[in-house]
Amino acid sequence: MAGSTFGNLFQITTWGESHGKGIGVVVDGCPAGILLCEEDIQKFLDRRKPGQSKFTTQRSEEDAVEILSGVFEGKTTGTPISMVIFNKTQRSADYSEIAGYYRPGHADYTFDMKYGFRDYRGGGRSSGRETIGRVAAGAIALKMLSMMGISVHAYAKEIGGIAIEETDLEECFRNPFYMPDQKAAGKVAEYAEKKLSECNSMGGIIECVIKGMPAGAGEPCFEKLDANLGKAILSIGAVKGFELGSGFEAAKATGLTNNDVFRMENGKIVKITNHAGGILGGISDGSDIVFRAAVKPTPSIAALQDTVNKSGENIAVSIKGRHDPMIVPRAVVVVETMAALVLVDALMINMTAKIDKIINFYKE
Amino acid sequence: MAGSTFGNLFQITTWGESHGKGIGVVVDGCPAGILLCEEDIQKFLDRRKPGQSKFTTQRSEEDAVEILSGVFEGKTTGTPISMVIFNKTQRSADYSEIAGYYRPGHADYTFDMKYGFRDYRGGGRSSGRETIGRVAAGAIALKMLSMMGISVHAYAKEIGGIAIEETDLEECFRNPFYMPDQKAAGKVAEYAEKKLSECNSMGGIIECVIKGMPAGAGEPCFEKLDANLGKAILSIGAVKGFELGSGFEAAKATGLTNNDVFRMENGKIVKITNHAGGILGGISDGSDIVFRAAVKPTPSIAALQDTVNKSGENIAVSIKGRHDPMIVPRAVVVVETMAALVLVDALMINMTAKIDKIINFYKE
Amino acid sequence: MAGSTFGNLFQITTWGESHGKGIGVVVDGCPAGILLCEEDIQKFLDRRKPGQSKFTTQRSEEDAVEILSGVFEGKTTGTPISMVIFNKTQRSADYSEIAGYYRPGHADYTFDMKYGFRDYRGGGRSSGRETIGRVAAGAIALKMLSMMGISVHAYAKEIGGIAIEETDLEECFRNPFYMPDQKAAGKVAEYAEKKLSECNSMGGIIECVIKGMPAGAGEPCFEKLDANLGKAILSIGAVKGFELGSGFEAAKATGLTNNDVFRMENGKIVKITNHAGGILGGISDGSDIVFRAAVKPTPSIAALQDTVNKSGENIAVSIKGRHDPMIVPRAVVVVETMAALVLVDALMINMTAKIDKIINFYKE
Amino acid sequence: MAGSTFGNLFQITTWGESHGKGIGVVVDGCPAGILLCEEDIQKFLDRRKPGQSKFTTQRSEEDAVEILSGVFEGKTTGTPISMVIFNKTQRSADYSEIAGYYRPGHADYTFDMKYGFRDYRGGGRSSGRETIGRVAAGAIALKMLSMMGISVHAYAKEIGGIAIEETDLEECFRNPFYMPDQKAAGKVAEYAEKKLSECNSMGGIIECVIKGMPAGAGEPCFEKLDANLGKAILSIGAVKGFELGSGFEAAKATGLTNNDVFRMENGKIVKITNHAGGILGGISDGSDIVFRAAVKPTPSIAALQDTVNKSGENIAVSIKGRHDPMIVPRAVVVVETMAALVLVDALMINMTAKIDKIINFYKE
């Protein structure tokens, strides 16, 4: 409840601060028998690694994961999987200055209000590095989903107000923005260059599409699949909004335009449109699940900003250090992995929805 | 986990179907010593009552709450408060037809996929009547907040694409739309009249403003205050999107425009702007908490729509019965009460954040 | 967490006070498709009904259960099942006196310390009537187990120090003590008669045997099946001890005598003895699960006892009213139903222990 | 729910196997501001360290704890505290043989039934080494309790049937059995010597006494303080029974002898006796909390035992390796720390029981 644990049957607990000894996660409830090695995790961590282009922070973090428990003879054992990523550089010198004031747009002030003091080095627990544990755990969830024929793909839909016009998923890996549209990515590069030179930063929108999800996952009331996806995504540091399917556009629509009609197609029930975004009444309907997250601009900027210090004086500051001018590209994999955690948990819970399924399970 | 329970320390469990014997809620963890009577609850239920204008359903539901436990000599005892609202009319005849097909935009299909069959009368558990239990429980949370000087006010910000231009909270109670802008309400009336005549429905946006919230509530990682508000709001039937503060606008902003700078004002630290919406790093910062919910159009419309029946045939249907042409006005109080549940829970959890506060508590 | 909710996937929430309007329970997470009617529940409630002999309280409580939700066309729908037992007589007059003092052996004093005041009528929430909700919910769990070939039988093993010497389960229903030994029951009748005449009460031991439980239920660490059975049983009002298999006898044993050796028998692995009580390492091993609960004497006795009143004066009191001279006979069904709740929950959670089982589930 | 997480507000998650890379725990919800260093933890780990006498295993484990997060400038930060104890020796050779058969009294068989295979090295997750994480986390809880004037002391009450006759806590640290009675410890040494020579092992009883606990902690229904203590203690590997206060003796008592009468003493309400063991109606009553745990003999013995192998053949085995001839002495600190975790959690939850306390908290 203190908030570092997420999920029910597939449950993760993350720990670690930006400049502490390391960052880690414990995955409890992972089923036994999954082939798992560090490379399965590492490839996802590498996608959120900084320093991949001039548009993400130039810090060189080598986030190498180590599996400490829960895997034996190459397979998960069903007992907790503990993973750690030791922080290679714990240089705290850069941060001594910010110990004394509250950075605008950061959690410095609220941490002090809540706890009385804070680990000010690099944002401590509120740093973006906190997501490393999420990604490591979510990588296992993604592997499980892929074994079940379910894919989860996120990408930058919009950065600095520049939106994609096509969705070529392979293009994502060819530009530094994780944008599935080469042309849009070009415009973003230009815009980002300009903002960088102004010591400024920019926001954007991440879209996520889930294919192959069976109907029936999610619970009717408070544990709706979309409510849990929303919580998962809104719990990522810089996310300020979440919408499913038509989302905020649905507010302007009418029932006739927004309802997705059902039709028979090759002997199967399908929806002709997908304004609902793949979830009806909180339960997956078998069509693609589509959602978007609004990501704010990086709050750490070198441009001069007003703020107050701990002595209660008005001051002006320029946040030094190597910061991302935009959060979106590195957050894409965080969105994918958080979504995967929600889906796996919902699929596991859904196994107990019908009595005949339970009886059959134990008959075998 | 099956999803009818919400909250941690202040925890509610709702039950009931649209056309069953009743709807109810159990509130567990409500502190002892709160003066509480049925009228405290009833006034909130009356705000979501149908039949208040021609723009909401003309069904006459008299939702009278009865407190069955947890209150003694006019005060809460600290033990579970059970409340029930018996359904006065359980006429199922109207619904016999829809038993055989899947209404577009409804949970009929997904309930069948999940559970193998469903209570088709009036949507059963997926009906909007499910929110009665939430409102009854949230009314207690709102009372607690008000005892602590915290107010929660929601209103229709936009209906059918028509947005408010001013925010006069008292006006909300003078028009059938819960809109804090008389002029906008007039335009909505006109538009709604037209849509009603077309057997169609419309969506909208609800905004909620929380004043007086102390800094420090909410937890840093997965249990961020905004993540939990998001989950609470997205768990309301027709909500398709949630945003905090600048929300999706933040995606287009830059760090310089989106960061809220801190200043000293009368010896107190304040934020000059509030793009963050009152929450930084998942923790309340002492300024107003502001969020918005996108609400889809009522899926039940009398206009002809395509769908399929349980025999797998393509058919066309017109949903009969008395349905709301818009969900927003009656959902306003649901948003307020769900928000209140999240706030109370977060405030209670936050009491254990500092060791000296705990030691002092038990010293007294 | 406030404590009126129990279980994870199969989750119950009880409410109600001894002399309030009623007692009830909400069962969330009950699988869809179970044939269920009020008679399925009532027969278990009748077993804990008072007034069945002179050795249980002579109050005439007619505890008739009413199902308010979650059942449609005779089957569970998968949504919450709300059950209520309205209190027929709410005579509070008898209890006005005890409002002012603390009954020895009761929760009067601790409720006042915790909540500042209490519903003193018949013990309020701490009354034995609180178990009605448990029994109603557990009746559904027992029905599920019986559909899976699992039986749960509890009985009085010892009352007032008089222990059974044989275990004839049918005999349980022929004597007022739920004792599976006619001779022992006769001796208990004699002893109880004597204690009744002395205005005194007596304790006893309940034993519970579960047959047909498949191996694999329960989790390795904190959620061991025996730990959860222990919690469930120790949460019943008057229970002061819990032991599994050899229990406290194991403390005097050696490894050689206490270990249960495995042998092949008809091609199956079996344990020759069952000192473990059917659970190894927290996980069911396929043999009978056997546990015992120590039940204290009824604290309400008519004999004169010292105590203090709320004004801080030493006084002497004689608890009037119609009280059970022993708790054991009526608690037997509570033990069975609490055990059933734990077993069903563990069986549901165990369905997700292996990846191939999950993949197969969704392949079908 | 998969069982490696324990507690609500003060929540721990343990991980690790006997012969994996290490053992660890994440503590989430620990209040900010507690002075904490590794020595605070190490002194408790040292108490469960093997090799301290010939009566505990002669393996030389150096369990050195490392704090990886959650502590900054010597104080807890309120964010998760991750602790790891790396396994120094991972010699798996000793265990290759037991991979093929099921040790009597161990979880080998049930792990195979549940997960399909197991980490057989030293018992894997079911090893006693799993308790290292509990002790490390509980050490923090004990520190918190001591700051609040609450002490928790456990000791061996009986080993191999030899019970203590006096309770001199300082004596515990002078004999290898943690027995507060020099004479009894002498007899145990003699008995244990004999059993060791027979390649056999023995059980015992641990008693725990908690002093200074304020009244009011624990919740009325399922989350009774005794139920949670019971669960915590029964979740320790070899524990087969739990009793509070008079425990199983209460089953033979009468109301008159078992009730603890209240009296005024120096202006305070006290109980003259403590058969209840410090908890009434699930809530602490301000007097000492006293409970006992029955611990079975070490199942790993060198004497020849029958069992079956994975090929389904009857075989006879002698468990080699360095095993404790008794579990009790090293489990004493595990009992203390598990109790402390329950108490801290209950004290934190109890802070929200009264509305005026909550209002005062936020007024300050």
* Beta carbon pairs, B and C, within 8 Å: 167
Residue type, C285: D
Alpha carbon of B33: minimum distance to chain D alpha carbons (Å):
6
Interacting residues of D44 by C-beta distance below 8 A, sequence separation 6+: D135, D136, D138, D139, D142, D333, D337
Q: What is the pLDDT of residues D95-141, one digit of tens each?
A: 777 899 999 999 999 999 999 999 998 889 999 999 999 999 999 99
Cβ distance of C31 and A144 shorter than 8 Å: no
- Alpha-carbon gap, residue C355 to C361, rounded angstroms: 10
Alpha carbon of A106: minimum distance to chain C alpha carbons (Å):
32
Read out DSSP for B153-191?
A: EEEEEEETTEE-S---GGGGGGSTT--S-HHHHHHHHHH
CA closest to B306 among chain A residues: A261
Write out chain B residues lying below 8 Å of C73, CB-based: 117
CA closest to B33 among chain D residues: D355
Q: What mean pLDDT, rounded, does chain A reach? A: 94
Burial of A249 (0-12, 13-18, 19+ CB in 10 A): middle
Cβ distance of A254 and B130 shorter than 8 Å: no
Q: What is the pLDDT of residues C304-363, one digit of tens each?
A: 999 999 999 999 999 887 778 999 999 999 999 999 999 999 999 999 999 999 999 999
B201 and B193 in contact (C-beta within 8 Å)? no
How many of the other CB atoms lie within 10 Å of CB of D268?
Answer: 10
- Alpha-carbon gap, residue D364 to A97, rounded angstroms: 31
How many of the other CB atoms lie within 10 Å of CB of D247?
Answer: 23
* Beta carbon pairs, C and D, within 8 Å: 394
CA closest to D78 among chain B residues: B353
Please, what is the end-to-end C-alpha distance for chain A in angstroms? 37
Cβ distance of A15 and D82 shorter than 8 Å: yes
Cβ distance of C117 and B17 shorter than 8 Å: no
- Alpha-carbon gap, residue A143 to A135, rounded angstroms: 12
* Residue from C27, C68, C84, C86 to probe the interface with B (highest B Cβ count within 10 Å): C68
Give how far Cα A145 sits from Cα of A40, C357, D204, Å.
13, 14, 48
Q: Which two tokens stand for residue B116?
A: 């193998």
Which ipTM value was assigned to this complex? 0.97
Scanning B270-317, the segments in alpha helix (DSSP H) are: none
Write out chain D residues lying below 8 Å of C306, CB-based: 261-263, 272
pLDDT at A59: 57
Give how far Cα C191 sits from Cα of C57, C183, C326, D254, Å.
17, 13, 11, 11
Give how far Cα D333 sits from Cα of C229, D153, D204, Å.
24, 9, 15
Mean pLDDT of A264-275: 95
Mean pLDDT of A89-94: 60
Cβ distance of B259 and A222 shorter than 8 Å: no
pLDDT at B324: 82
Write out chain C residues lying below 8 Å of D307, CB-based: 261-263
User: Which residues of chain D are under the pLDDT cut of 70?
Assistant: 50-51, 56-61, 89-94, 364
Cβ distance of D297 and C248 shorter than 8 Å: no
- Alpha-carbon gap, residue D223 to D219, rounded angstroms: 5
Mean pLDDT of C46-75: 82
Q: What phi and psi, each to the nearest 5 degrees, are found at residue B362?
A: -90, -10
Task: Point out the residue among D8, D144, D356 whose CB comes nearest to the CB of B33.
Answer: D356
List the strands of the sheet with C11-16, edge to edge: C5-6, C11-16, C22-28, C81-86, C65-67
Task: Pick C122 or A299 by higher pLDDT.
Answer: A299
Mean pLDDT of C179-201: 96
Alpha carbon of A352: minimum distance to chain D alpha carbons (Å):
15
Give how far Cα B355 sits from Cα of B345, C131, D147, Å.
19, 37, 9
Cβ distance of D77 and A124 shorter than 8 Å: yes
- Alpha-carbon gap, residue D172 to D160, rounded angstroms: 17
Q: What phi and psi, each to the nearest 5 degrees, are found at residue D185?
A: -60, -35
Pick the closest to residue C317 from C332, C329, C330, C302 (CA basis): C302
Residues forming beta bridges with residue B291, ordered by sequence position: B208, B244
Task: Point out the residue among A8, A13, A22 whose CB comes nearest to the CB of D28.
Answer: A13
What torsion do the CA atoms of C326, C330, C336, C338 make, to the nearest 10 degrees? -90
pLDDT at B61: 58
D235 and C230 in contact (C-beta within 8 Å)? no
Cβ distance of C105 and D1 shorter than 8 Å: no
Give how far Cα B258 sits from Cα of A299, B250, B276, C52, Å.
8, 7, 8, 72
* Residue from D110, D198, D249 to probe the interface with C (highest C Cβ count within 10 Å): D110
Interacting residues of B43 by C-beta distance below 8 A, sequence separation 6+: B139
Cβ distance of A104 and B260 shorter than 8 Å: yes
- pTM (predicted TM-score): 0.97
Write out chain A residues lying below 8 Å of B160, CB-based: 252, 254
Pick the closest to residue A24 from D44, D66, B281 (CA basis): D66
Cβ distance of D259 and C301 shorter than 8 Å: yes
For β-strands D75-76 and D151-159, DSSP reports them as unpaired
Alpha carbon of D99: minimum distance to chain A alpha carbons (Å):
13
Q: What is the pLDDT of residues D298-333, one digit of tens each?
A: 999 999 999 999 999 999 999 887 778 999 999 999
Task: Point out the residue among C10, C144, C358 whose CB comes nearest to the CB of A348.
Answer: C358
- Alpha-carbon gap, residue D48 to D50, rounded angstroms: 6
Residue C172's SS3 state is helix
- Alpha-carbon gap, residue B119 to B135, rounded angstroms: 23
Pick the closest to residue C226 from C286, C276, C270 (CA basis): C276
pLDDT at A96: 73
Residue type, C337: T
Task: Point out the residue among D109, D195, D231 whose CB comes nearest to the CB of C228.
Answer: D231
A148 and C359 in contact (C-beta within 8 Å)? yes
Cβ distance of A79 and D29 shorter than 8 Å: no
Alpha carbon of A167: minimum distance to chain B alpha carbons (Å):
19
- Alpha-carbon gap, residue C279 to C283, rounded angstroms: 5
Alpha carbon of B234: minimum distance to chain A alpha carbons (Å):
5
Write out chain C residues lying below 8 Å of A78, CB-based: 353-354
pLDDT at D356: 97
pLDDT in tens, chain B (364 residues): 789 999 999 999 999 999 999 999 999 999 999 999 999 999 999 998 766 777 766 555 589 999 999 999 999 999 999 999 999 865 555 667 789 999 999 999 999 999 999 999 888 999 999 999 999 999 999 999 999 999 999 999 999 999 999 999 999 999 999 999 999 999 999 999 999 999 999 999 999 999 999 999 999 999 999 999 999 999 999 999 999 999 999 999 999 999 999 999 999 999 999 999 999 999 999 999 999 999 999 999 999 999 999 999 999 999 887 778 999 999 999 999 999 999 999 999 999 999 999 999 999 6
**What subunits make at least 3 CB pairs under 8 angstroms with A?**
B, C, D
Write out chain B residues lying below 8 Å of D220, CB-based: 79
**What subunits make at least 3 CB pairs under 8 angstroms with C?**
A, B, D
* Residue from C6, C106, C222, C308 to probe the interface with D (highest D Cβ count within 10 Å): C222
Task: Pick C39 or C89 by higher pLDDT.
Answer: C39
Write out chain B residues lying below 8 Å of A276, CB-based: 105
Cβ distance of B230 and A253 shorter than 8 Å: no
For β-strands C289-295 and C204-211, DSSP reports them as antiparallel
**What subunits make at least 3 CB pairs under 8 angstroms with D?**
A, B, C
Asked if pLDDT for residue A60 goes beyond 70, the answer is: no
